[in-house]
Structure 1
Amino acid sequence: MSEVKLISSIQNPLVKKILLLKEKSRERKKTGLFVIEGQREIELALKGGYNIETVLFCPEIASIDAIHPLFEGLNPKFIHISPQVYGKMAHRETTEGILAIAESKPHTLDSVDLKSKTPLILVAEAPEKPGNIGALLRTADAASIDAVLIANPKSDIYNPNIIRSSVGCVFTNIVGMGSTTDIIKFLKQNGISIYSAALTASKKYVDCNFKGASAIVVGTEATGLTQEWLENSDQNIIIPMQGEIDSMNVSVSAAILIFEAKRQRGF
């Protein structure tokens, strides 16, 4: 494992590159690189098979002896950074003094490998808020579902806020992205029933059978799902509301539906 000299200036070209990767989706897409902050997130990325190109750590916070074992058998470039530089690049003070530059994955529908004969899939159409996307990914990881598909994506999956809000679960899920039309085609080609969360022509979710190959589809809180999903749905489903409002946060709704499906499958 190689090491380089300490970077102590925030004007260093590498520091500027990292800040650009964190701030600009266009830069991440152009270079195929993104930034991971925190030891837990880096460990999950390694577990998810991501290639780590560069590791930056602050010796005043992170011990080199503690960091090296994480990358056993790998050969990333190691760079020491000063507390000032770390403070400039880090969003949180509790990320163990370590950041990494990693290579992104394609996340095409062709890359989604469904190993189960009866997969359980979460589909989210046009989610915008990084916090909601992160929460959906955490739920998917907690339930150990087969894949998360994002239709008509509005946010870059490697947005630092998504990585942070998902606590690294963006790396532990199989994530595919595509248009609504392409995802519906993918589901039908794989014999996966479509259950669309909607207010009209809906059946109570507890009265549905999710034991077979199933895709639970959720839309935005503001507008719900587009008509294309409703026209292609095998069954619209609803979570009955007992208060004054007719919907919940999308990540909460998804969690309820997913864990009902898991309950039916005996976890």
Structure 2
Amino acid sequence: MLTKSINSTQNAFVKHLVQLKDKSRERKKTSTFLIEGQREISLALKGGYKLETILFYPDLFPEEKLKDFKTDSTSSIEISKDVYQKLAYRDTTEGLLAVAKSKSNSLDDLKLETDTPLILVIEAPEKPGNIGAILRTADAASVDAVIIANPKTDLYNPNIIRSSVGCVFTNAIATGSTTEIITFLKQKHITIYCAALQASVDYYTQDFKKPTAIVVGTEATGLSEQWLENATKNIIIPMQGEIDSMNVSVAAGILIFEAKRQRNFLK
């Protein structure tokens, strides 16, 4: 099939792609989003995402390499340097972008593959960089699911895709309200450990080998009262400096890998 080409940044499709990149409303309306980078696109394919269109800048990405990314239903478009620079966030993504179909992130669609899942819950995260860092940690620890309560941004924000280096595609992710998520966890008899300063015990004293949800909030406000009221136990990371909190992605990493340490110890 003959590859199309677009050379003008004023092209209607290019303008649509800019909207996909910049506007959550456009991503939700069309159920599509823009991915940048070979690694990120490869991970999306591995995660079962459908690519509608691949765009490549031939000076950085030769057309013959498209076969590694295309399916029969994927169209391809050669783009000029100006168009590539208009759409790309960075110059180190080897000249490749893709338009993909988004997936449902409903709790109803979340399938847990084990009777003793390890789940990370994040309440109301605002910064895409923090979300991306947490998703990288979740992938590294191979948690069973990441659940985002009361999300402030959609998962297909390009800053989340970029900061997660594609781990938004490798994790099982669901979103919902705090009430919905608490109900989901209790119905599945999952122990709820909330990272909090109040009425807390040191995190390493707890048993994370049973079905476990580790719940973290933002550095600014912490977790809502609803979480604290429904926690099985509040846990804390002891600190020896002058401050009483740390970056949420760092805290999540410490807690998740303690759970993994306990679980791997049994193997």
With structure 2 as the length reference, what TM-score do the two structures score? 0.98
Q: Secondary structure at the match of 2:223?
A: coil
Identical-pair percentage? 65
Instruction: Please state how far the C-alpha of 1:4 moved relative to its aligned partner.
Output: 3.0
CA contact (8 A) 2:219 2:246 kept: yes
Instruction: Please state how far the C-alpha of 1:84 moved relative to its aligned partner.
Output: 1.2
**Counterpart amino acid of residue 83 in structure 2:** V
| Distance (whole Å) between structure 2 residues aligned to residue 12 and residue 248 of structure 1 | 46
| Distance (whole Å) between structure 1 residues aligned to residue 200 and residue 40 of structure 2 | 39
| Distance (whole Å) between structure 1 residues aligned to residue 66 and residue 243 of structure 2 | 49
Instruction: Please state how far the C-alpha of 1:112 moved relative to its aligned partner.
Output: 0.5
Unaligned runs of 5+ in 1: none
| Distance (whole Å) between structure 2 residues aligned to residue 143 and residue 74 of structure 1 | 34
**Counterpart amino acid of residue 24 in structure 1:** K
- Number of the residue aligned with 1:87: 85
| Distance (whole Å) between structure 1 residues aligned to residue 11 and residue 185 of structure 2 | 47
Instruction: Please state how far the C-alpha of 1:217 moved relative to its aligned partner.
Output: 0.1
Instruction: Please state how far the C-alpha of 1:257 moved relative to its aligned partner.
Output: 0.1
| Distance (whole Å) between structure 1 residues aligned to residue 124 and residue 72 of structure 2 | 37
Instruction: Please state how far the C-alpha of 1:74 moved relative to its aligned partner.
Output: 3.8
Q: Secondary structure at the match of 1:15?
A: helix
Deviations 1:220-257 (A, max 9, x none): 10010000000000010000010000010000000000
- Number of the residue aligned with 1:204: 202
Aligned counterparts, 1:94-243, within 5 A: 94-243=92-241
| Distance (whole Å) between structure 2 residues aligned to residue 50 and residue 119 of structure 1 | 24
Instruction: Please state how far the C-alpha of 1:17 moved relative to its aligned partner.
Output: 0.6
- Number of the residue aligned with 1:250: 248
CA contact (8 A) 2:121 2:213 kept: yes
Instruction: Please state how far the C-alpha of 1:66 moved relative to its aligned partner.
Output: 1.8
CA contact (8 A) 2:53 2:74 kept: yes
CA contact (8 A) 1:140 1:148 kept: yes
Deviations 1:37-95 (A, max 9, x none): 00000000000000100000011110111221233x54300000011110111001000
Q: Secondary structure at the match of 1:80?
A: strand
| Distance (whole Å) between structure 1 residues aligned to residue 24 and residue 117 of structure 2 | 31
| Distance (whole Å) between structure 2 residues aligned to residue 153 and residue 3 of structure 1 | 42
CA contact (8 A) 1:3 1:79 kept: no
| CA distance 1:143–1:74, shift in 2 (3 Å) | farther
CA contact (8 A) 2:60 2:95 kept: yes
CA contact (8 A) 1:40 1:168 kept: yes
- Number of the residue aligned with 1:40: 39
Deviations 1:178-225 (A, max 9, x none): 000000000001110000000011110010000000000000100100
Q: Secondary structure at the match of 1:158?
A: coil
Deviations 1:93-116 (A, max 9, x none): 000100000000110001110011
CA contact (8 A) 1:3 1:77 kept: no
Q: Secondary structure at the match of 1:123?
A: strand
| Distance (whole Å) between structure 2 residues aligned to residue 238 and residue 3 of structure 1 | 59
Does 2:50 match 1:55? no
**Counterpart amino acid of residue 136 in structure 1:** I
Instruction: Please state how far the C-alpha of 1:6 moved relative to its aligned partner.
Output: 1.6
CA contact (8 A) 2:4 2:76 kept: no
- Computed over aligned residues only, the root mean square deviation of the Cα atoms, in angstroms, reads 0.9
| Distance (whole Å) between structure 2 residues aligned to residue 7 and residue 223 of structure 1 | 47
Q: Secondary structure at the match of 2:159?
A: helix
Q: Secondary structure at the match of 2:5?
A: strand
With structure 1 as the length reference, what TM-score do the two structures score? 0.98
Instruction: Spell out structure 1 runs of 4+ moving beyond 3 A.
Output: none
